[in-house]
Amino acid sequence: MAEDLIKWIKAGQTLIPNPLLMHYKDLGLTNTDLVVLIQLLSLVENGQRFPDSQLLAERLDVSREEAYKAIHQLMTKKIITIETSTNEEGKTQDEFSFDLLYEKLVYLQEEQSKRVKKEKEELSSKDLYRLFEEEFGRGLSAIEIQTLDMWLNEDDYPIDLIEAALREAVLSQVYSLKYIDRILLTWEKKNIRTKEQVEKESRRHRQNQSTNSSDSENDDEEKPVPMYNWLKNNNNT
């Protein structure tokens, strides 16, 4: 029993990428193609860089001709290639390459990530439209929806930055997308691209304003902090 376990351990393991198991059908592979591919990966990882089709046939329990056709099928589907290299002795040698497979899997993973991101952005966009309608107390017009789409897709403003600009407009009691657009343009000129940068700039302005007025006002007196007028500040620069 112990000897069998040792043999099993020495036989090694074959690394099968999870994306391959999840996306092999997206690559146009059949279940048979997948089994053949896994067997080839196993042989290559065990030192058989260019295994004979007979060896593969024995593992698959098929004829040598069927094994050869299976390999050719994977090459036709651009999953594997045969690369020729020169060893240290100057002799040429062939070996199977799985680079095309890995490139396709990486591409599929990236596309999936893009789809997930796009779906999240679409959901966030709908929330943004609802937020504007709630703050404006009415539905958005077609032109206003087009403006929001332009901010998101053409100007590439982050959603949280648009929300921050909306908040500034609401605090100023100006319910106009033109006003909000001017705020966003002002921030763009100041290279402000995140909600955190907006808050940091607002704090800096309030601190400067508080410092300038501290000499003429009583420290114990409670004073409202005036809102940062972004547009006025921009016009003065």
User: The domain spanning residue 125 has which CATH number?
Assistant: 1.10.10.630
- In this structure, is residue 187 part of a structural domain? yes
| Structural domains in the chain (count) | 2
Residue 227 has pLDDT above 50, yes or no: no
Q: Are residues 22 and 92 in the same domain?
A: yes
Report the C-alpha gap between 198 and 204 in whole angstroms: 10
138-165 burial, b at 16+ Cβ within 10 Å, e below that, comes to eebeeebeebbeebbeeeebebebbbbb
Q: Are residues 142 and 231 in the same domain?
A: yes
Dihedral pair phi/psi, residue 155, rounded to 5°: -80, -20
Q: Are residues 145 and 73 in the same domain?
A: no
- In this structure, is residue 60 part of a structural domain? yes
Report the C-alpha gap between 20 and 29 in whole angstroms: 10
Residue 92 host element (H or E) = strand 92-97
Q: Are residues 130 and 65 in the same domain?
A: no
Q: What is the pLDDT of residues 74-131, one digit of tens each?
A: 999 999 999 998 878 888 889 999 999 999 999 998 998 888 777 776 667 788 899 9
Label residue 194 by pLDDT band (50, 70, 90): confident
Q: Please answer whether residues 37 and 52 qualify as being in contact, where contact means their C-beta atoms are separated by less than 8 angstroms.
A: no
pLDDT at res. 237: 44
The domain of 194 spans: 121-211+227-235
- In this structure, is residue 112 part of a structural domain? no
Report the C-alpha gap between 236 and 104 in whole angstroms: 54
Any idea what DSSP says for residue 97? E
- In this structure, is residue 219 part of a structural domain? no
- In this structure, is residue 139 part of a structural domain? yes
Q: Are residues 86 and 157 in the same domain?
A: no
Q: Are residues 92 and 125 in the same domain?
A: no
Residue 224 has pLDDT above 70, yes or no: no
Q: Are residues 148 and 231 in the same domain?
A: yes
Q: Are residues 145 and 54 in the same domain?
A: no
pLDDT at res. 220: 42
Q: Are residues 79 and 167 in the same domain?
A: no
Length of the chain: 237
Q: Are residues 26 and 78 in the same domain?
A: yes
Any residues with CB less than 8 A from the CB of 198 and at least 6 apart, and which? 161, 164, 187, 192
